[in-house]
Chains A and B, each alone.
Chain A
Amino acid sequence: MIYDVVILGGGPAGLAAAVEAKNGGAENVLILERDRELGGILNQCIHNGFGLHTFNEELTGPEYAERYIQKVKDLNIPYMLDTMVLDMHDNGDLKAIHVINEENGYMIIEAKAVILTMGCRERTSGAIGIPGYRPSGVFTAGTAQRFINMEGFMPGKEVVILGSGDIGLIMARRMTLEGAHVQAVCELMPYSNGLVRNIVQCLDDYDIPLKLSHTITFIHGKDRLEGVTVAKVDEKLKVIPGTEEYIPCDTLLLSVGLIPENEITRNAGVVMDNRTNGAIVGELRQTSMPGVFACGNVVHVHDLVDFVSEEAVLAGKGAAKFIKGELDNEITFTTTNGDGIGYVVPQQVAMKNVEDKVTFYMRVRQVFKDKVVNAYIGDQLIATKKEKKLLPAEMVNFKIAKDILAQYPAGEIRFVVEEAK
């Protein structure tokens, strides 16, 4: 059987994209998920705080996922669990997806369109190269989260956390509630990489100190972690000699960032963006490879699941249009990141596919107060987004109406952080 749309990954992005593709007219949709269950990273996020934008209520991760899983079931969209996608090849009209699982062995599944929703993975200690020993007791925050929430085991008792990403903050609270003692959260930057809400609810409420402009300079302990040396850094992020402090601990959690999981994407030959580490995508999340779409954390790391779902709807629409031959591929605009902006998604816009507006997602490079994000085409200011505070941890979501964009025949849309006028 040849599928209309096959979705690689059953996290929130995959689920929402499947639903939208089916609603948009794709008949045979299939979700492939390597885990034991659908829901992706949400399954281990048993805290509240999901879905405020989408459902106007605070859900836990699994509850949020459940709403979409239910939709998938209602629409009779088939899915295969414990199924690993190894590779995807472009055979012209069809994509060949190589997968394995215990039940059916090695299979090649063919599809007219593919949506990539493989999510992201955590950066590790090796990648950031902390000097010292390599004992047990050093975990990424997500691994610790999995041990505690899914296996019911504690990774340790005396804890230091490096990095103030959301997972790290949430794990500070979780470990405390489970009886561990969290001594500190160290953050290299002078600001946190987590949501303000999480700093208040996960650290302040439990008197856990957040040490900004601090890093770990040495890992002690040959077999099991025995302690870490923590030191203050200057504006250039260099360690200030004399500020070193030894903290005894048996557990170090790393929450130092996430990287989109794009092996399959790269191997297939899809054009990537080295700012996002994800594919270059258009307004309906079409990639450089016709019929291949991507959304969610595999495109760029999101902090709120609501935006993942929002983006997935676009990809689902795109895939449905593609199989009906309705997707236009004439690029009208490209986008670029100017001063203060780290990246912009989508990187391209084909105006003929746009309904009423285009939402541009971007991240700022540092903390800005009382500034605005301006969008230009050439010298022409076309739109402004005001925010009281711009934080690298909080993705900016900048909507520009079709009417405004339609005034320009083509060009590059440039986003910059500037003084408010």
Chain B
Amino acid sequence: MYDIAIIGAGIAGSYIARELTRYKLDIVLLDGENDVGNQITMANSAIVHAGFDAPASKLKGKFNAPGNIMYEKVCEDLDVPFKRCGSLVVAHNEYEMATIQELYQNGLKNGVPGLQILFKDEVHAMEPNLNEDICGALYAPTAGIVSPFELCIHAAENAVDNGVTLKMNHMVSDIKNHHGYFEIITNAGNVEAKYVINAAGLFADNIYAMVGEPYFKLLARKGHYFIFDKEAGSLVNSVIFPCPSKKGKGILVAPTVHGNLLIGPDAEPVSYKGDIATTGERLDYIKENALKNCPDLPFNKIIRSYAGLRNTPVRDTYTTTDGDFIIEESPVRGFINVAGYESPGLTSIPAVAHHVVENIVKPMIPHLEENPDYNPKVRKHLRFDEMTEEEKVEIIKEDPKYGKVICRCETITEGEIIDVIHRSAGARSVKAVKKRTRAGMGRCQGGFCSPRVVEILARELNVPLDDVMYDQQDSAYILSGHTKSVKEEA
């Protein structure tokens, strides 16, 4: 029997698991996917928002700015790429300037440091590639960019290093409330725990419905993105948001921590929660709108398009759509919901996790003892491409596998790939290797390196080549068996 079961190993579940290891607790982290951070945490804008837009009265407004401020420390401990590059909300006219004033005032209420309203010349001096007609902007120096899935992966890794049991490929299909403990039914065996934290992302409403009377529902709203080649990465230096309007937040243009450029997202309600298919019209819509602020976007440098799903909460009457995070002990005793956890969920997580542990879990479990062995740091993740010449010389001497480049576009070595397979919460699929090392994320999108990565995974996990999956266990196979020539020879 575990003390606490956390359902969902996205950023919410993984980070809360890690935070809980500050105390002596027996924790299990369950996820139906073959890798952590494989749903919402995989496909979002990757912005560490400054925190000026959510109303101060909401949890979003309460946790955003404090979460943001914690990022340096978190990303240092978890060895995750993070850059405080600042953001601009740009205005094209007086009307939009008025909105910017409102955002500025709201930001002050939320305690966002360093906010400034910039005039035209200042904006263009900062960002020379923006549209001429932009007449001013709200500058938020604390906004940043992060690699969301690396943050999630390292949070999960750190949680496991600190004693959490991670069970992947455990899809929860039912929960029995035995009043005193919960029995969680999964396709890979049942799990018992005294308390449950529901951090199941888009499916948190379904999970809650397994134990209690539904009081919120999650709507899937799709957002499309494009990623540009690193050659386009320096088009902007900071995150460029259009001025929000009644229609929504609009299309942002942002650098990524790895030096690419990202544009998106739109917002389109979809009925199927697995619908992450991109559509032609929507992709065109993004291009058009991104051009309004960045007229020089080089669309011939696009290397990838994808879509992610927001988990927008609708509460009570199921009518209000500007819902807030649902972070509370639910009406079912011992069952905590971290649901409707949409943007700025990524940014808020360090503050939210702290809140969940200190203000919800701690009062619920008497006599919690601190874990004296808690170590907030992960083992350093060596990234060959980012090393100095001397470091490169050293590491290859130590481990010659770092002298063998597997992904040519991103200069990822065999040493790094072997490392991420054997770390806690390690990679089990080609996509998992890609998320951790960027092998296959560059301009050739794995064209060259994927056969090599398959080989390394097969060797390190000691399985046949055709058992290596692209993503999901069993269903996302890459190879369909030996060729006829090989079979005939055998």
Query: In the complex the two chains form, is B485's CB within 8 Å of A153's CB?
Result: no
From A102, A122, A155, contact of B403 by CB (8 A): A102
Contacts of B400 in A (CB 8 A): 102-103, 105
Contacts of B110 in A (CB 8 A): none
Contacts of B283 in A (CB 8 A): 129, 131
A122-B447, A154-B483, A178-B483 as given contacts; A82 in contact with B404, CB under 8 Å: yes
**Using a Cβ–Cβ cut-off of 8 Å, how many residues does chain B contribute to the interface with A?**
56
From A100, A126, A250, contact of B304 by CB (8 A): A126
Q: Can you name the residue of chain A whose Cβ is closest to the Cβ of B385? A: A86
From B305, B392, B469, contact of A129 by CB (8 A): B305
Query: In the complex the two chains form, is A151's CB within 8 Å of B302's CB?
Result: no
Query: In the complex the two chains form, is B396's CB within 8 Å of A151's CB?
Result: no
Q: Can you name the residue of chain A whose Cβ is closest to the Cβ of B477? A: A224
Q: Can you name the residue of chain A whose Cβ is closest to the Cβ of B472? A: A223
Contacts of A67 in B (CB 8 A): none
From B445, B446, B481, residue with most partner A Cβ within 10 Å: B445
Chain B 191-249 interface residues, beta-carbon cutoff 8 Å to A: 226-227
Contacts of A142 in B (CB 8 A): 447-448
Cα-based distance from A133 to B279 in the complex (angstroms): 9
Query: In the complex the two chains form, is B475's CB within 8 Å of A223's CB?
Result: yes
- Interface membership of A156, Cβ < 8 A: yes
Distance of A36 from chain B, by nearest CB (Å)? 10
How many residue-residue contacts, CB under 8 A, span A and B?
A: 149
Query: In the complex the two chains form, is B389's CB within 8 Å of A136's CB?
Result: no
Interface of A is mostly: mixed
From B278, B447, B451, B476, contact of A121 by CB (8 A): B447
Cα-based distance from A333 to B466 in the complex (angstroms): 55
Cα-based distance from A153 to B483 in the complex (angstroms): 5
Query: In the complex the two chains form, is B276's CB within 8 Å of A133's CB?
Result: yes
Distance of A44 from chain B, by nearest CB (Å)? 10
Contacts of B189 in A (CB 8 A): none
Q: Can you name the residue of chain A whose Cβ is closest to the Cβ of B279? A: A131
A103-B400, A223-B471 as given contacts; A124 in contact with B445, CB under 8 Å: yes
- Interface membership of B450, Cβ < 8 A: yes
A105-B393, A223-B476 as given contacts; A126 in contact with B403, CB under 8 Å: no
Query: In the complex the two chains form, is B451's CB within 8 Å of A143's CB?
Result: yes
Query: In the complex the two chains form, is B447's CB within 8 Å of A124's CB?
Result: yes
Distance of A154 from chain B, by nearest CB (Å)? 5
Q: Can you name the residue of chain A whose Cβ is closest to the Cβ of B479? A: A153
A126-B302, A126-B305 as given contacts; A34 in contact with B405, CB under 8 Å: yes
Contacts of B451 in A (CB 8 A): 143, 146-147, 150-151
- Interface membership of A179, Cβ < 8 A: yes
Chain A 120-150 interface residues, beta-carbon cutoff 8 Å to B: 121-122, 124-127, 129, 131-137, 139-140, 142-143, 146-148, 150
Contacts of A179 in B (CB 8 A): 483-484
- Interface membership of B374, Cβ < 8 A: no
Cα-based distance from A177 to B479 in the complex (angstroms): 17
Q: Can you name the residue of chain A whose Cβ is closest to the Cβ of B474? A: A223
Q: Can you name the residue of chain A whose Cβ is closest to the Cβ of B486? A: A152
- Interface membership of A217, Cβ < 8 A: yes
Contacts of B393 in A (CB 8 A): 105-106
A-B contact list, 24 entries, CB within 8 Å: A86-B411, A100-B396, A100-B403, A101-B403, A102-B403, A102-B404, A105-B396, A105-B400, A106-B393, A121-B443, A124-B445, A124-B446, A127-B303, A129-B226, A129-B283, A132-B278, A135-B476, A153-B486, A154-B479, A154-B481, A155-B478, A179-B483, A222-B276, A223-B472
A interface, CB within 8 angstroms of B? 34, 82, 84, 86, 98, 100-106, 121-122, 124-127, 129, 131-137, 139-140, 142-143, 146-148, 150-157, 177-179, 217-219, 222-224, 250-251, 261, 263
Q: A105-B393, A125-B445 are in contact. List 10 more A-B contacts (CB 8 A).
A: A98-B389, A100-B392, A100-B402, A103-B403, A105-B396, A134-B276, A135-B470, A143-B450, A154-B479, A223-B475
